């Protein structure tokens, strides 16, 4: 192939030169070029090396179906592998590299693999390296993993950068009445028709220019028509998106689009996303996605210089590149005739080889005018030449077989094996395309959704008919009865042929060039018993490359049908799945990366906590104070000091993240009585009660305190982790199960700022902050009492005397906006009392000492009895879960039960997550597990809580092993009551 | 993506909702025998075709709704508030 840039013609702007770098060398191109057209114009022929055999590959198409010119774009952190050079718009400074080759694609050492090609048939690696001596020696598949690494190095596509993606991606959403995909003659007309009926229309085009096949035509009338349509679209207010691929169609008219915002720009605007991921909800969808020209399978049909006829037309007419001087065009249908004539007019010497004995009918006369030599009844048998095509050996059909004919020298071999409508997006919707034997292609089948196909995507081959089909499709999509043009449009019918070869030929003809799948692979798969196309696909990897079988699927199906002695429709077809073309993971993630990966929730005192030395930790979506280290303190030193201070004086802890739900209404107490396992009906006003709620199946769902503020007003608190879940659950119960209850629930988690004030001096500390210090006197606010009062400065507050730490403790709630003011007041009072601020780590230490449960213990597997709270399950009333908690399995006495854990040697520690085992039986699931471990300042050594079969009664005087083989090994432990500190609760009642 | 016509908010993406479960279940009384609860909670049909399901418009109006959805096609045939009084009120106002 000796391509040259023409001095005129095409849609490129020869006055604007762009520089590009290919494999380190500098080349020129023009505005309007793709990377492929620029490289072709500069005479570069080998642009890639094939997947398995490292065969040299050049440009094979001019579009998304490209299987040869697959390159790595950019360098370093922005290196993007497996980019199709045919789709990459040229920009100044573009840099690209060949891939799957060493040292480069022109001279690739790996190409020796091609010499052994006959060994590398379908399944070769698996057959050779798995299970067979001498490679396995009965060692299982482990050794395969080693071979696989080497194999992957030798075979493959480009390599992705291992660095984090530096670019930003956006997610965007849109709605429209009609979504039109494709801006060729059919798409432009469909969009205009819908817009002129007053519909809101989005038109999507993957190319950087609108027009589709208009762009490949030389007739000035075609360009005039294109401009006319686009102008009308703009006037009608159609939203036009170029460089945007509709990669998937989903339920309810939802489409996924990928908009390439800056990939074509030399200077990327600083604040633009690289790509935008659109979710479009359309009332109706018109798919004018065009058709792709097929190759034919013959020997060495992948040589650089072999391409589809349509591609040559595109390079000639759109990019002003004459892709060869001495061209052979082989075809089995009418479509290549115009291409042949145009190439000849542009100065090439062209021979047209038509498989059909009768040729192209009246089209042949045009060929004579353009001095194109026409040969009929012949097909390509073999492409000659190694690194580039230099001729084509022809074959003549003889009955059902082929006989060698003469060889024609050429530097460009064009192939037209027929056309495949792009039915991929329709296939996403589950509509199986139907094989049309006359047109030798799959045609769209009716789709239950409002999706209509138009133009060549529905098998309509002529431009005028495509325009009419676009108009008809838009009307159909809008529910108007209309007759559109019928598929077809060739004067002489296509003569289907998928493979040309001699019976005993040992050469390679590629079906799916991108994955190096040959016709012999397909036949071998059949020989080895693969009869389903789905199995064929997986065994040979046909259609599993980045083009998803755009190039080879139909040929593969045809060969399989032939091998099975069936018709193509009886073999079936694989279902196309999204995405139509690859989508970067970054685009799927959008802005949800790094700090934005998930929502961050801050308490109203977040900044206050930071100002006072808090180190934060993640608690679900929340950032909560973890510990408040003083200068030089480690986390362990800090939390031990904090926990000790709470036991000795006073500590303040931000508990605003607890879930808070207002339960209000005349039936609120009845509702809570059903939801909680313990009695709530008679909770007095001004009292709080600790409650446990179960799921329907009798397992614990959540725990927390509920405060009765009035006859009809309760404040229910949940654990931080389950706040959302409990709210949903209460809503479900009220709306679905007990609609007769007059209760309203609303989440007030964000409305309240809450702190826990704990320790022997807690009462003094809070009293100093109250307008009426007497409000907190023991007689006015006894244990589990709730009061409404005011902090100094007239700040309304709720105070409940409840304790998680086991100390005299209160929770003080104020309106969220007063959170920082409350902290100022309390801290000013607590600091002189030698108090401290404490975080989650100290909170954990305090509650573990007391054996109080949290999410680590209430893990969705434990019953209320397992958690040692069985006495909280009322026997006097039914409640949610009361029936199914009585299942025999949940009542077994040897179920794991909540226990405290001491290391036998008190100087030792053990790990949360360790398994508890019998001595000498440190394997299997063990007898239980450790949920949490802390250093206990009160006891002076490490302690833990967890679950163990039979509970601490069964383990009295026995030794258990906390085993953690990966981290810590085996530690001997004693099993004790979970109430390890102040078991009588004297401190909190004080 | 399924688009669900919420009776209160109009057509919304399914990502605004959470799926509840089988909407045809009548839960037994709280004091019903274990066996009845067992059947209601654990014995569920795996329907191929139209089934009534509960959905919660959790990132919307927070209402629970009953959706008649075809499990084969995702086609939604009917949607109504789960709360019978609200359903009645909507019916009579339309």
Residue A26 in 3-state DSSP? strand
A492 lies within 8 A of chain B by CB: no
**Domains of chain A and any CATH numbers:** 1-157 (3.10.20.440), 169-292+420-477 (3.50.50.60), 295-417 (3.50.50.60), 505-566 (1.10.10.1100), 601-657+751-845 (3.30.1360.120), 659-747 (3.30.70.1400), 892-989 (2.40.30.110)
What is the Cα–Cα distance from A549 to A278, expressed in whole angstroms?
25
Does A878 contact B2 at a Cβ distance shorter than 8 Å?
Answer: no
Tell which residue, A205, A280, A287, has the closest CA to residue A242: A205
Instruction: Indicate whether A154 pLDDT > 70.
Output: no
Instruction: Write out chain B residues lying below 8 Å of A697, CB-based.
Output: 41-42
What average pLDDT does the segment A349-363 reach? 94
* Mean pLDDT of the A192-206 span: 98
**A window 211-230, beta carbon within 8 A of B:** none
User: For residue A107, what pLDDT band results from cuts at 50, 70 and 90?
Assistant: confident
Are residues A728 and B1, on separate chains, in Cβ contact within 8 Å? no
Q: What is the pLDDT of residues A385-417, one digit of tens each?
A: 999 999 999 999 888 889 999 999 999 999 999
**Contact assignment for A254 to B58 by CB distance below 8 Å:** no
Closest-approach residue (CA) in chain B for A697: B41
Q: At what angle do helices A336-345 and A309-317 cross, to 10 degrees?
A: 40
Q: What is the mean pLDDT of chain A?
A: 93
pLDDT at A247: 97
Q: Find out whether A417 and A334 touch, Cβ atoms under 8 Å.
A: no
Pairing of strands A349-354, A373-376: parallel
Q: What is the CATH number of the domain that holds B30?
A: 3.30.2270.10
How many helices (H) and strands (E) would you count in chain B? 2, 6
Distance in Å, alpha carbon of A468 to nearest chain B alpha carbon:
32
| pLDDT given for residue A141 in this prediction | 57
Residue, of A470 and A515, whose pLDDT is higher = A470
Q: Which of A97-106, A317-326, A420-429, A772-781 has the lowest mean pLDDT?
A: A97-106
Q: Pick B3's closest partner by Cβ from A252, A731, A737.
A: A252
Give Cβ neighbours of residue A29 (< 8 Å, ≥ 6 apart): A17, A18, A20, A35, A37, A38, A39, A41, A42, A90
Range in A501-515, A603-617, A654-668 the model is least confident about: A501-515
Cβ pair A735:B41 closer than 8 A: no
The phi, psi pair for B46, rounded to 5°, reads -105, 90
Which positions in chain B have a beta carbon within 8 angstroms of at least one beta carbon in chain A? 1-3, 13, 18, 20, 27-34, 36-38, 40-42, 54, 56, 58, 62-64, 73-75, 81-85
Check CB contact of A696 with chain B, cutoff 8 Å. Answer: yes
Query: Under an 8 A CB cutoff, do A735 and B63 touch?
Result: yes
Confidence check: pLDDT of A960 > 80 = yes
Residue of B nearest to A881 (CA): B30
A886 and B85 within 8 Å at the Cβ level: the answer is no
Contacts of A516 (CB under 8 A, 6+ apart): A50, A51, A52, A53, A55, A510
Residue A156 has pLDDT above 90, yes or no: no
Instruction: List beta partners, residue A169.
Output: A275
Q: What percent of chain B has pLDDT over 70?
A: 99
CB-CB neighbors (< 8 A) of A736 in chain B: 20, 54, 64, 82-83
Asked if B74 and A883 come within 8 Å (Cβ–Cβ), the reply is: no
Region at A707 (left for phi over 0; alpha for psi -120 to 50; beta for the rest): beta
Quote the percentage of chain A above a pLDDT of 90: 83
pLDDT at A196 over 70: yes
A892 three-state secondary structure: coil
What is the predicted pLDDT for the residue at A680? Answer: 95
> pLDDT value at position A368?
85
Q: What is the pLDDT of residues B13-24, one digit of tens each?
A: 999 999 999 999
Q: Is B83 in contact with A448 (Cβ distance < 8 A)?
A: no
Query: What's the pLDDT at A142?
Result: 61
A:259-288 residues touching chain B, CB 8 A cutoff: 279, 281
Region A8-26 average pLDDT: 96
A505 band by pLDDT with thresholds 50, 70 and 90: confident
List chain B residues with CB under 8 Å of A737: 27
* pLDDT at res. A93: 96
Around Cβ A771, how many Cβ atoms within 10 Å? Answer: 13
* Predicted local distance difference test score (pLDDT) of residue A102: 79
Segment A454-465 mean pLDDT: 97
Nearest to B1 among A251, A696, A736 (CB): A251
Report long-range pairs for A146-151 (Cβ below 8 Å, ≥24 apart): A151/A125
pLDDT of residue A109: 78
Residue A349 in contact with partner chain B when CB distance is under 8 A: no
B11 membership: H or E segment, kind and range: strand B10-13
Per the structure, the complete domain to which residue B65 belongs is given by 3-93
Task: Using the structure block, give the residue that is written with the tokens 């013609």.
Answer: A9
How confident is residue A52, by pLDDT bands cut at 50, 70 and 90?
confident
Provide the percentage of residues in chain A whose pLDDT is more than 70.
95
Residues 6+ apart with CB under 8 A from A955: A899, A948, A974, A975
Q: How far is A78 from chain B (nearest CA, A)?
A: 32
Q: In chain A, whose CA is at the least distance from the CA of B4?
A: A252
What confidence score (pLDDT) does residue A193 get?
98
**pLDDT of res. A208:** 97
Q: Report the pLDDT value the prediction gives residue A537, as an integer from 0 to 100.
A: 86
Using the beta-carbon criterion (under 8 Å), do B41 and A737 form an inter-chain contact? no
Q: Do A878 and B74 touch (CB under 8 A)?
A: no
Looking at the partner chain, which of A448, A674, A736 has a beta carbon nearest the beta carbon of B30? A674
User: Does the beta-carbon distance from A279 to B1 stay under 8 Å?
Assistant: yes
Q: Which residues of A107-141 are buried (b: 16+ CB within 10 A; e: fewer)?
A: ebebbebbeebeebbbbbbeeebbeeeeebeeeee
- Give the ipTM of the model, two decimals please: 0.98
Q: Is the minimum CB–CB distance between A617 and chain B shorter than 8 Å?
A: no
Q: Does A847 touch chain B (CB under 8 A)?
A: no
SS3 A533: helix
| Mean pLDDT across A70-75 | 93
> Is a pLDDT exceeding 60 seen at residue A135?
no
Q: In whole angstroms, what is the distance from residue A957 CA to residue A975 CA?
A: 8
Of residues B54, B74, B75, nearest to A736 (C-beta): B54
Q: Are strands A13-22 and A4-5 parallel, antiparallel or unpaired?
A: unpaired
pLDDT-derived band at A330 (thresholds 50, 70, 90) equals very high
Inform me whether the pLDDT recorded for A807 exceeds 80: yes
Q: What are phi and psi of A146, to 5 degrees?
A: -70, -50
Contacts with B, A 237-256, CB within 8 Å: 250-254
A234: buried, middle or exposed (CB in 10 Å: 19+, 13-18, 0-12)?
exposed
Does the distance separating the beta carbons of A878 and B29 come in below 8 Å? Answer: yes
Residue B63's pLDDT is: 97
Q: pLDDT digit string (tens) for A624-635? A: 999 999 999 999
Which candidate in B15, B41, B89 is best for mutational testing of the A interface (most A CBs within 10 A)?
A: B41
Task: Report the predicted TM-score, pTM, of the whole model to 2 decimal places.
Answer: 0.91
Count interface pairs A-B at CB distance under 8 A.
71
Per-residue pLDDT at A369: 86
Mean of the pLDDT values across residues A344-350?
96
Structure confidence at residue A724 (pLDDT): 95
Substitution target from A176, A251, A733 for chain B, most B beta carbons within 10 A: A251
CA A629 to chain centre: 40
Query: Which pLDDT score, from 0 to 100, does residue A145 have?
Result: 64
pLDDT surpassing 80 at residue B57: yes
Contact residues on chain A for B2, CB-CB shorter than 8 A: 251-252
**Inter-chain contact A731–B62, Cβ cutoff 8 Å?**
yes
**Closest to A811 (Cα-Cα) out of A707, A928, A914, A908:** A707
CB contact under 8 A, B28 and A883: yes
Q: How many folded domains does chain B comprise? A: 1
């Amino acid at each position: 192939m000796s391509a040259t840039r023409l001095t005129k013609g095409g849609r490129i702007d020869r006055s604007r030169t762009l520089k590009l770098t290919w494999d380190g060398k500098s080349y020129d191109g023009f505005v309007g070029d793709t990377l492929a057209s620029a490289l072709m114009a500069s005479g570069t022929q080998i642009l890639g090396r094939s997947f398995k055999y490292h065969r040299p590959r050049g440009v094979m198409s001019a579009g998304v179906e490209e299987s040869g010119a697959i390159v790595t774009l950019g360098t370093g952190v922005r290196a993007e592998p497996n980019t199709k050079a045919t789709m990459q718009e040229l920009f100044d400074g573009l840099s690209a590299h060949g891939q799957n080759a060493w040292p480069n694609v022109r001279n690739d050492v790996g190409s020796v693999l091609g010499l052994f090609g006959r060994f590398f048939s379908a399944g070769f690696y698996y057959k050779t390296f798995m299970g067979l001596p001498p490679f396995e020696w009965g060692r299982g598949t482990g050794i395969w993993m080693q071979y696989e690494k080497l194999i992957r190095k030798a075979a493959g596509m480009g390599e992705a950068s291992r660095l984090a993606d530096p670019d930003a991606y956006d997610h965007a959403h849109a709605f429209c009445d009609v979504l039109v995909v494709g801006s060729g003659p059919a798409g432009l007309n469909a969009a205009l028709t819908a817009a002129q009926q007053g519909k809101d229309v989005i038109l999507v085009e993957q190319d950087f220019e609108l027009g589709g096949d208009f762009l490949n035509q030389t007739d000035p009338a075609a360009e005039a028509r294109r401009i006319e349509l686009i102008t009308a679209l703009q006037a009608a207010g159609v939203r036009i998106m170029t460089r945007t691929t509709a990669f998937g169609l989903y339920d309810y008219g939802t489409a996924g689009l990928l908009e390439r915002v800056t990939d074509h720009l030399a200077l990327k605007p600083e604040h633009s996303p690289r790509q935008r991921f659109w979710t479009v909800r359309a009332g109706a969808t018109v798919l004018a996605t065009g058709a792709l020209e097929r190759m034919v399978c013959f020997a060495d049909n992948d040589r650089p210089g072999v391409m589809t006829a349509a591609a040559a037309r595109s390079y000639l007419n759109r990019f002003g590149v004459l892709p060869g001087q001495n061209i052979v065009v082989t075809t089995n249908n009418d479509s290549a005739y115009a291409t042949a004539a145009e190439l000849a007019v542009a100065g090439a010497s062209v021979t047209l080889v038509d498989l059909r004995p009768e040729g192209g009918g009246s089209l042949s006369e045009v060929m004579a005018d353009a001095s194109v030599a026409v040969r009929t009844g012949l097909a390509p048998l073999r492409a000659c030449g190694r690194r580039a095509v230099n001729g084509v050996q022809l074959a003549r059909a003889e009955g059902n077989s082929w006989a060698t004919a003469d060889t024609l020298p050429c530097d460009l071999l064009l192939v037209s094996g027929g056309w495949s409508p792009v039915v991929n997006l329709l296939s996403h919707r589950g509509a199986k395309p139907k094989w049309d034997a006359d047109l030798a292609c799959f045609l769209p089948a009716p789709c239950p959704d409002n999706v209509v196909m138009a133009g060549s995507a529905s098998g309509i081959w002529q431009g005028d008919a495509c325009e009419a089909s676009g108009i008809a499709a838009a009307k159909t999509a809008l529910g108007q009865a209309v007759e559109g043009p019928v598929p077809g449009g060739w004067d002489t019918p296509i003569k289907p042929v998928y493979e040309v070869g001699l019976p005993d030929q040992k050469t390679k003809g590629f079906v799916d060039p991108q994955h190096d799948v040959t016709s012999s692979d397909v036949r071998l798969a059949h020989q080895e018993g693969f009869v389903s196309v789905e199995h064929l696909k997986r065994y040979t990897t046909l259609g599993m490359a980045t083009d998803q079988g755009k190039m080879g699927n139909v040929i593969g199906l045809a060969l399989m049908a032939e091998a099975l002695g069936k018709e193509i429709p009886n073999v079936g077809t694989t279902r196309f799945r999204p995405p139509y073309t690859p989508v970067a993971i970054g685009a799927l993630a959008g802005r949800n990366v790094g700090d934005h990966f998930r929502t961050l929730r801050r308490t109203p005192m977040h900044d206050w906590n930071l100002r006072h030395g808090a180190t934060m930790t993640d608690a679900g979506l929340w950032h909560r104070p973890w510990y408040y280290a003083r200068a030089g303190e480690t986390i362990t030193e800090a939390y031990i000091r904090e926990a000790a201070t709470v036991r000795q004086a006073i500590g303040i802890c931000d508990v605003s993240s607890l879930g808070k739900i207002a339960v209000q209404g005349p039936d609120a107490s009845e509702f809570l009585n059903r939801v909680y396992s313990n009695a709530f009906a008679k909770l007095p006003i001004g009292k709080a009660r600790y409650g446990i709620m179960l799921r329907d199946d009798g397992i614990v769902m959540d725990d927390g305190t509920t405060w009765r503020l009035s006859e009809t007003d309760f404040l229910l608190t949940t654990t931080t982790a389950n706040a959302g879940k409990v709210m949903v659950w209460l809503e479900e119960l009220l709306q679905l199960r007990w609609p007769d209850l007059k209760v309203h629930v609303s989440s007030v988690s964000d409305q309240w700022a809450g702190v826990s004030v704990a320790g022997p001096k807690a009462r003094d500390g809070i009293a100093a902050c109250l307008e009426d210090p007497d409000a907190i006197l023991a007689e006015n606010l006894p244990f589990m009492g709730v009061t409404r009062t005011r902090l100094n400065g007239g700040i309304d507050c709720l105070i409940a005397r409840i304790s998680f730490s086991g100390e005299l403790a209160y929770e003080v709630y104020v309106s969220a906006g007063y959170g920082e003011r409350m902290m100022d007041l309390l801290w000013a009072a607590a600091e002189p009392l030698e108090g401290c601020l404490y975080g989650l780590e100290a909170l954990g230490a305090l509650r573990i000492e007391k054996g109080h449960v949290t999410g680590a213990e209430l893990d969705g597997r434990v019953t209320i009895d397992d958690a040692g709270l069985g006495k909280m399950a009322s026997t006097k009333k039914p409640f949610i879960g009361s029936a199914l908690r009585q299942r025999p399995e949940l009542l077994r006495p040897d179920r794991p039960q909540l226990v405290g854990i001491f290391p036998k040697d008190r100087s030792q520690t053990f790990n949360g997550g360790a398994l508890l085992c019998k001595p000498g039986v440190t394997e299997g699931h063990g007898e239980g597990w450790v949920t949490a471990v802390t250093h206990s300042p009160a006891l002076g050594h490490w302690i833990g809580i967890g679950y163990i079969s039979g509970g601490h009664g069964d383990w009295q005087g026995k030794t258990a092993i906390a085993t953690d083989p990966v981290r810590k090994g085996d530690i001997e432990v004693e099993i004790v009551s979970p109430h390890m500190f102040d078991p009588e609760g004297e401190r909190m009642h004080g | 993506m399924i688009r669900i016509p919420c009776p209160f908010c109009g057509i919304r993406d399914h990502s605004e909702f959470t799926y509840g479960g089988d909407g045809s279940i009548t839960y037994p009384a709280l004091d019903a025998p274990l066996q009845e609860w067992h059947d209601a909670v654990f014995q569920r049909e795996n329907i191929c075709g139209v089934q009534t399901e509960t959905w919660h418009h959790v990132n919307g109006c927070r209402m629970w709704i009953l959706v008649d959805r075809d499990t084969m096609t995702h086609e939604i045939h009917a949607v109504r508030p789960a709360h019978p009084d609200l359903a009645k009120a909507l019916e009579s106002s339309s």
